Amino acid sequence: MTVETDTPNVATAVTAVQVRQGEEGAFTGWLTELNKTIATLPGYVSAVVIPPVPPLQSDWAMVQRFQTICIL
């Protein structure tokens, strides 16, 4: 089966982390600054943060997309 889309090819980095209880505020502050910095890099496409969904998912997930794997 072949699926074709109009979405351009991009390089995607996915990171999942567990944050210590009580450190969520510090983590989200750091993550906000990190994403601001990443957004200034050449080839940046997007960044998405997916917070935990207890009890199903305890990790924070971050998805950063860039135009090519070389830029990533």
Boundaries of domain holding 53: 11-66
Domain count, the chain: 1
Q: Is residue 3 part of a domain?
A: no
Q: Is residue 1 part of a domain?
A: no
Residues pairing with 50 in the sheet: 61
Instruction: Tell me the pLDDT band of 5, cut-offs 50, 70 and 90.
Output: low
Neighbours of 62 (CB within 10 A): 18
The pair of three-digit structure tokens given for residue 34, joined into one six-digit string:
């990190």
Q: Is residue 33 part of a domain?
A: yes
Q: Is residue 60 part of a domain?
A: yes
Strand order in 44-50's β-sheet?
11-17, 60-66, 44-50
Q: Is residue 4 part of a domain?
A: no
Q: Residue range 53-69: average pLDDT?
A: 92
Instruction: Tell me the pLDDT band of 28, cut-offs 50, 70 and 90.
Output: very high
